[in-house]
Structure 1
Amino acid sequence: MYNEARYINSVLSEVCKYTEDILIVDDGSTDLTPALLAGHPVEVIRHSANRGYGRSLQDMFRWARVDQFDWLITMDCDEQHEPASIPRFIEAIHQDDADIISGSRYLEFHPENDMPPKDRQIINRQITQELNEVLGLSITDAFCGFKAYRVSTLETYSFDINGYAFPIQFWVQTAARSLRIREIPVRLIYNDPKRSFGASLDD
């Protein structure tokens, strides 16, 4: 997360309903984020400066491996991912038919979906389609950060991208490893038109 002080209390109060093992990667926040996190029963990795979305995910992967978790669920802390969807991921994990469970905002229509700018929808769709064609995948949303990962598979990845192009490298390596992918629908929530283009793709 980066400068998400206005969302921390509401999001973490919901996430805590589903698990006691919570990691927050604070990517160099300059607002009240560090002080607010201190009031929650969570583990925090804090970057001294903003190091990027991809680096934050790599830190999460490393933490999950070191602490020997079986699965890792990742989500954003800006209310664009609903904690109430976590049980869907847990249910999919228990079915044990996938290595990557990826949220998709486009898998099925939700009547309460928001509508982000058209150009961002188009670019997400185009990149997702190109990844499918080149890599032989069949995903519908390449940039949704709401995911569950089988931790044992993360040891085989090698990343060198720290920014918002990270999901592309992730899918390239996932396809190369022939890992099992399953998508589940999540609601499309778009609540901050001022976010940068890369952030909007992932959120």
Structure 2
Amino acid sequence: MNKKKLLALIPAYNEEKSIKVVIENIKDIVDGILVVDDGSSDNTTEYAKECGVEVITFEENKGKGVAIREGYKYFINSEYDICFIFDADGQYRKEDILPVCEPIINDEADIVVGSRFIGKYSDGANINYKTRILCNNISTTVTRIMSGVPTTDSQSGLVAVSKYAAKQLDLKADRWGIHQEIIIRAGKKGLRYKEVPIIFEKRMHGVSRLKVLKYPFIAFPVMLKAWIRK
């Protein structure tokens, strides 16, 4: 059996303090890395290019959804077999990449989510832990109902898809809600879904830009449209 080629898709926005470390940390276990710089005002693009990886740069901030959709377009037209989303803030571990990709490598799944809830959070990984967990639980419950798949972590930033899955998803989200949309569309399209436990680390620098109380009002319409769409 031919070795499956792995592409890391790293959406990034003003992550100059961590992007080099994240790239260098995973270089030895992937076949390619694509950074999609979502209109950063810092040196994210320059630092990523210094690492010798592929970079797509937006002139202005368009949102994580657009960044991931652009990354999937690149993946679909590439030589790679599996694409996994890997956030640029350093909270996901390189040790979890291969376990997340393995069910696709073994033809047991089309999409695999690294779940923090069947895994664990490291100390200090989430400063608003209780509020975020509550919001994630609500989001995950709604996503589970809409998708019909047994998701436990609908907002995980470590998600692997096969090329077949990437072609089927038909994603529309521009900003927040993209991760729930991926899962809902996977269920609607009858894709084989799996989860594996992962460990979630503390951010290398800065704080999360996700606004917990605003998130549901932006994400839910995205989720509803993904559910209604054929």
Under a length normalisation based on structure 2, what TM-score does the superposition of the two structures give? Answer: 0.79
The match for 2:161 is 149
- Aligned-residue offset at 1:193: 4.0
- Aligned-residue offset at 1:187: 1.0
| Cα-to-partner distance string for 1:68-100 (whole Å, 9 max, x where unaligned) | 422111101110111232222243333220000
Distance 1:103 1:197, change over 3 A: same
The structure richer in strand per residue is 2
1:4 aligned residue (12, 15, 29) = 15
| Cα-to-partner distance string for 1:81-132 (whole Å, 9 max, x where unaligned) | 1123222224333322000011110013466573441111101011101221
Distance 1:73 1:27, change over 3 A: same
1:172-187 aligned at under 5 Å gives the runs 172-187=184-199
The match for 1:128 is 140
**Superposition CA RMSD, Å:** 2.0
Q: State the AA in 2 paired with 1:72.
A: C
Identity over aligned residues, as a percent? 25
Distance 1:33 1:168, change over 3 A: same
Q: State the AA in 2 paired with 1:13.
A: E
The match for 1:33 is 44
Task: Verify the 8 A CA contact 1:113 1:188 in the aligned structure 2.
Answer: no
Q: Which runs of 5+ in 2 are unaligned?
A: 1-11, 216-230
Q: Work out the CA distance in 2 between the residues paired with 1:15 and 1:176.
A: 32
Q: Work out the CA distance in 2 between the residues paired with 1:181 and 1:174.
A: 7
The match for 1:74 is 85
What's the secondary structure of 1:34's corresponding residue? helix
Highest RCO, 1 vs 2 (Cα 8 Å, sep ≥ 6): 1
Task: Verify the 8 A CA contact 1:2 1:29 in the aligned structure 2.
Answer: yes
Task: Verify the 8 A CA contact 1:116 1:190 in the aligned structure 2.
Answer: no
Q: Work out the CA distance in 2 between the residues paired with 1:177 and 1:128.
A: 19
Task: Verify the 8 A CA contact 2:121 2:201 in the aligned structure 1.
Answer: no
Task: Verify the 8 A CA contact 1:14 1:84 in the aligned structure 2.
Answer: no
Aligned residue-pair number:
199
Q: Which runs of 5+ in 1 are unaligned?
A: none
The match for 1:13 is 24
1:34-49 aligned at under 5 Å gives the runs 34-49=45-60
